[in-house]
Amino acid sequence: MTLEELDIAFKEAVDRINDHTDPFPADLLLRLYAYYKKATNDYSRPSSSKPLITAFKTNALFQIQNISEDEAKQTYIDLVNNYFLYRK
């Protein structure tokens, strides 16, 4: 997959998530959050009105700190595809 194809597939995966109206499992949301932030090179601090959620977001980002932006995009795409393939 070329970088351009990866960017297109990533944007389509993001749109698919944003267009979905049913709730997602919390663990999936945390993984999507972390990979999205890494893929988009967004280094703003995680925040939430609840300190525990901020801690979970921070931990999710910490766990993927050593992957590239392109790896994050591919993993995000894979997570989205697997979710919609296997959800009930």
- The rounded distance, in Å, linking the Cα atoms of 84 and 13 is 10
88 falls in which pLDDT band (50, 70, 90)? low
Q: Are 61 and 38 in contact (CB under 8 A)?
A: yes
- The rounded distance, in Å, linking the Cα atoms of 42 and 50 is 21
Question: Is the overall model pTM greater than 0.85, yes or no?
Answer: yes
The residue segments making up the domain with residue 25 are 3-86
pLDDT digits (tens, 9 = 90+) for 39-85: 999 878 888 888 999 999 999 999 999 999 999 999 999 999 999 99
Q: What is the pLDDT of residue 1?
A: 85
- The rounded distance, in Å, linking the Cα atoms of 81 and 58 is 25
Query: Between the CA atoms of 65, 67, 69 and 73, what dihedral angle is there, to the nearest 10 degrees?
Result: -110
Residue 13 belongs to a domain with what CATH number?
Answer: 1.20.80.10
Q: How many domains does the chain have?
A: 1
Question: In 1-88, which ranges are E strands?
Answer: none
